[in-house]
Structure 1
Amino acid sequence: MAVDTAHPTRPAGPSRRGRRADALPRMSRGRWWSELGWRYVVAAFAVVYAGAPILYVISTSVSAGGTLTGSNRLFGTVSGENFAALNETRFWSWVANTMIIASVTAIGTVLMGAAAAYAFSRFRFTGRRVGLTSLLVIQMFPQLLAFVAVFLLLLSLGEVVPALGLNSRLALIMVYLGGALGVNTFLMYGFFNTVPKELDEAAKIDGATHAQIYWTIILRLVAPILAVVALLSFISSFSDFLLAKLILQSEENWTLAVGLYQWVSDRLSANWGLFAAGSVISAIPVVLLFIFLQRYIVGGLTAGSVKG
């Protein structure tokens, strides 16, 4: 008589491994929410909080009424009248002035700041520590304290060199360069220190001069921080109002910030439609610059913060 040696069948039911598999997703979901999920909620709130004013300005720019009260209903009317009306003003002249001032300031800030940071990082000379400390101390004082001094200095300087006096775009560029030199030098100084000095020594052995090392080796390695400094300098000078209003006095020399302000400075004749249309167009260069340089921003701001 044959004996059945097969194992008896167990009643169907979840196995121990199956129970573990079922419990794992529930535990993972709770951990995901506590560690990561709440960040999505915060990010969504931040996007809505930042995006609502932008939508409101865009809606005002395409509103034919030209008032903010007519834009309570977003995109209730869509018209290009405000954008067409910009051609009848000095708006495009202000755009050209702003782009020239911001571009020259950004290029000059990068060249001057990189040269100063390279000197502080690579050379040892008398007054080096005092110079670094002085730059740091000067940056502690707000620029508002220097407005009166800047105005009186340009007023006196304009009597000798008119190109560097009041109502001069060149004078405004010089003021921007002087104000941004200290903080940008410190920002680039930390990044320059992350570049190994052995590269300089190897290049010197091959017969390279300091100028060749600086222009062909160092600047290529520190390209991220150069892009970040150029971006920050461009944005700060592009959107500045106080210094531009103080120095530029004639309408043909105004920047966008000063020109757009004049359209809404008088409450009785404020044209918010033109102001919103000009604001939308003036935001395009900054957005494009951010998109073009976004891969440099994070690396350029953080790499010099760690002592290597």
Structure 2
Amino acid sequence: MMKKKSNNLYLGDRQPLNTMGKIGLGLSYMVLILWTIAILWPIYQMVMSAFNGMQQEYIIMNKGFEFSFDHFTFLFEETLYPKWMLNTIFISISTAIITLLFVSFTGFAYSRYRFKGRKASLMAIMIIQTIPSFAGLTAYFTMYSIISDVLPFFNRQMMLILIYSAGGIAGNTFILKGYLDSISMELDDAAKIDGCSNLKVYKLIILPIARPMLAIIALWSFLGPFMDYLLPKVILTNPEAYTLAAGLFTLIADKENMNQPAFAAGGLLIAIPTVILFTVLQKQLISGLSSGAVK
């Protein structure tokens, strides 16, 4: 009688790995492990430096360790860190709201309507994204001078919000348009047959379905001011108006006032708003509300 070879059977009728396949799999795991270490090691150093009371101001790592909140106390008592945090949160929330408001309309218009200049404007949006933001510094200062002369209350922080929002609207419009193109037009037609206007189609049909993508756009728009250093450093001249990136850099830019552990503590605290936003938008980020919408 013939013996059944059950030890080589794989689910899905997969063939067993040969020698080269096993070597490739091992190399893949090795690369992933090394990549994980490369990501986690700087985070580990930051956490240890932030909570190590034995560290001196000029040393980022020390042999000894003593748990302490001294560096966090230094941030809140000796620097303008609370002000920098409030400035960054204000700029980030304002940027996210303005970007979402305009992108939701522009993405809907480019996806659902055919108008003159549509393709040319979409091409212009793609080209604009290839130009780095710092290339327009001269134009930003000229715009600020013109707007501030007309609107005396317009300050440099508002100018920064305007720059972030304009750049976000251009790029995210193209992204949202591609997402809405995947939604069947039958939903729009069915709503119009039931008496819905174009505005009601946008409000009752498109927005609920596009909520996951809008959540991602909101997240990107919110995180932008937290990660940007160049524009706030150039445009914001008053240290009290700095964002976190520009403010924290002052802790390591000057050798006389350098405090690297406090810089690490400040960088660790930046993650708190990001974690909160991820928690709030978690359901939207992982949901697919358009699945099964057309019956």
The question of a shared fold, defined as TM-score above 0.5 by the shorter chain, is answered with yes
Gaps of 5+ in 2: none
Corresponding residue for residue 159 of structure 2: 171
Q: How many residues align?
A: 283
Tell me, in whole angstroms, the C-alpha distance in 1 between the residues paired with 2:220 and 2:58: 31
Label 1:58 to 1:85 Cα distance change in 2 as closer, same or farther (>3 A).
Answer: same
- 261-270 or 75-84: which moved more? 75-84
Alignment check: 8 A CA contact 1:239 1:257 kept: yes
Whole-Å separation in 2 of the counterparts to 1:210 and 1:24: 57
What residue number does 1:58 align with? 47
Deviations 1:131-173 (A, max 9, x none): 11121122222212111211222133223323334xx322211
Structure 1 segments of 4+ aligned residues over 6 angstroms from their partners: none
Report the residue type matching 1:56 in the other structure: Q
Residues of 2 paired with 1:62 and 1:118: CA distance?
Answer: 48
Distance in 2 between the 1:215 and 1:131 partners? 25
- Larger CA Rg, structure 1 vs 2: 1
The change in CA–CA distance for 1:262 and 1:87 in structure 2 (over 3 A counts) is: same
d(CA) in 1 for partners of 2:80, 2:102: 33
Map 1:111-126 to 2 at 5 A. Answer: 111-126=101-116
| SS of the residue 2:226 aligns to | helix
Any unmatched runs of 5+ in structure 1?
1-9, 304-308
Alignment partner of 1:238 out of 199, 222, 226: 226
The residue aligned with 2:6 is: 21
The secondary structure found in structure 1 opposite 2:48 is helix
Task: Note if 1:76 corresponds to 2:65.
Answer: yes
Q: 1:69 to 1:34 in 2, by over 3 A?
A: same
Aligned pairs (5 A) from 1:255-294: 255-293=243-281
Distance in 1 (alpha carbons) for counterparts of 2:98 and 2:175: 16
Normalized against structure 2, the TM-score is what? Answer: 0.86
**Which among 176, 189, 204 is matched to residue 192 of structure 2?**
204
CA distance in 2, matches of 1:182, 1:224: 19
Alignment partners' CA distance in 2, 1:178 and 1:129: 20
Change (3 A) 1:209 1:23: closer
Give 1 or 2: higher helix fraction: 1
For residues 47-102 of structure 1, the C-alpha deviation after alignment (integer angstroms, 9 at most, x for no partner) is 111010111111111122343635144x7232111112222132112111111110
* Alpha carbons of structure 1 residues 29 and 85: separation in structure 2 relative to 1, 3 Å: farther
